[in-house]
């Protein structure tokens, strides 16, 4: 069951360039038709031109770097939780990270108060950097821009 996660803490934002690619979709194969490239829904034939719907390769823009391949290469030490436009967001997947950072759950599971002060932020970024130095270097090799940040991430898990 998917649920909304809210993460508070250090994370990495990477920026990738885009490349042209294709994506397979079930649509009207008639390139002259306005329904071409739009989802077919459950119908067998196109409402607009009567052509039978089929699987068609549609041109699309996609990330030059595949985050899931990168994640696999680093043994999932960092976990990609969110992709927005050209940005990919990574959080620590190491249990030792959660042990070292006292606030060990997402905000959604937090009971009580969590004070945020600049010293805590600096310490947590330091812990994160220490644990993930090699992983961050690996990201720098493939991404255009890699920045370590501290903040809130909202995503579906
Ligand atoms: Zn059509």
**pLDDT, tens digit, for every residue of 113-153?**
777 889 989 999 999 999 999 999 999 999 999 999 999 99
**CB atoms < 10 A from the CB of 59, how many?**
9
Ligand 1 ion local residues (Cβ < 5 A): 28, 30, 33, 35, 46, 48-49, 51
Q: Which two tokens stand for residue 7?
A: 């993460």
4-17+65-156 carries CATH number 3.30.70: yes
Closest to 77 (Cα-Cα) out of 94, 89, 65: 94
DSSP per position, the chain: ---EEEEEEEEEEEE--EEEEEEEEEE---TTSTTTTS--TT-SB-TTT-PBPEEEEEEEEEESS-HHHHHHHTTTSEEEEEEETTEEEEEE--HHHHHHSSS-S-GGG--S-----HHHHHHHHHHHHHHHHHHHHHHHHHSSEEEEEEEEEEEE-
For residue 24, the CA-to-ligand 1 centroid distance in Å is: 17
How do the domains of the chain map onto residue ranges? 4-17+65-156, 21-62
**pLDDT, tens digit, for every residue of 62-113?**
999 999 999 999 999 999 999 999 999 999 998 888 777 765 444 555 567 7
């Amino acid at each position: 069951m998917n649920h909304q996660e809210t993460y508070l803490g250090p994370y990495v934002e990477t920026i990738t360039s885009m490349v042209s690619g294709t994506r397979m979709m079930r649509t009207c194969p008639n390139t002259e038709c306005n329904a071409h490239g739009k989802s077919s829904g459950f119908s067998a034939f196109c409402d607009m031109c009567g052509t039978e719907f089929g699987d068609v390769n549609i041109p699309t823009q996609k990330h030059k770097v595949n985050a899931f391949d990168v994640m696999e290469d680093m043994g999932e030490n960092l976990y990609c939780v969110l992709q927005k436009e050209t940005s990919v967001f990574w959080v620590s997947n190491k249990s030792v990270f959660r042990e070292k950072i006292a606030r060990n759950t997402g905000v959604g599971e937090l009971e009580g108060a969590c004070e945020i002060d600049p010293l805590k932020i600096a310490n947590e970024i330091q812990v994160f950097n220490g644990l993930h130095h090699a992983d961050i270097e690996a990201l720098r090799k493939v991404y255009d821009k890699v920045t370590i940040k501290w903040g809130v991430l909202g995503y579906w898990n």
